[in-house]
Amino acid sequence: MVQIAHQNHVNLLLENAEEHNYTVDSQTSQYLWVKVEHIQTKQQLFTIRLNAVDYADMQDRLQTRINNVRGVTINQVVLSNKVTLFNLLHFIKTYEKSYRMSTRVFQKYSLKKLS
């Protein structure tokens, strides 16, 4: 069953967070529970279970904010570490490639000058 509600008619409240071990080396995955309630009646319409890695993306796509009134700690460190590592590796590969190209150009230029 798919449940939907118009963003202008609801409040989104971050209710809870739970962590699960998913690998042998004890890395965890965090899931968040977001309660969707009607603005006027305060009646709970449904709950969204969301991976913490996708929390920022969901926030960006919504017109309304997810209220963290309980002060739930959201663990996005694993994602940011992976993104930082990916960016660093990309930078190193790009630098190595441009270094090899500039070295070849320099060698060709030097050989022509010597001739």
Residue closest to 55 by CA, chosen among 39, 25, 77, 70: 77
Model confidence at 83: pLDDT above 70: no
The count of residues in the chain is 115
pLDDT at 102: 59
Query: What is the distance between the alpha carbons of residues 8 and 6, in angstroms, rounded to a whole number?
Result: 5
pLDDT in tens, 51-78: 888 888 888 888 888 998 888 888 765 5
Phi and psi angles of residue 67, each rounded to the nearest 5 degrees, phi first: -85, 125
Taking 70 as the threshold, does the pLDDT of residue 95 lie above it?
A: no
Spatial distance between the Cα atoms of 60 and 101, rounded to a whole number of angstroms: 40
Torsion of CA 17, 76, 13, 61, to 10 degrees: -140
pTM of the shown model? 0.60
| CA angle (67 as vertex; 66, 69 as ends), nearest 5 | 155
Q: What are the backbone dihedrals phi and psi of residue 52, each rounded to the nearest 5 degrees, phi first?
A: -60, -30
**Residue 49 pLDDT class (50, 70, 90 cuts):** very high
* Comparison of pLDDT for 83 and 20, the residue scoring more: 20
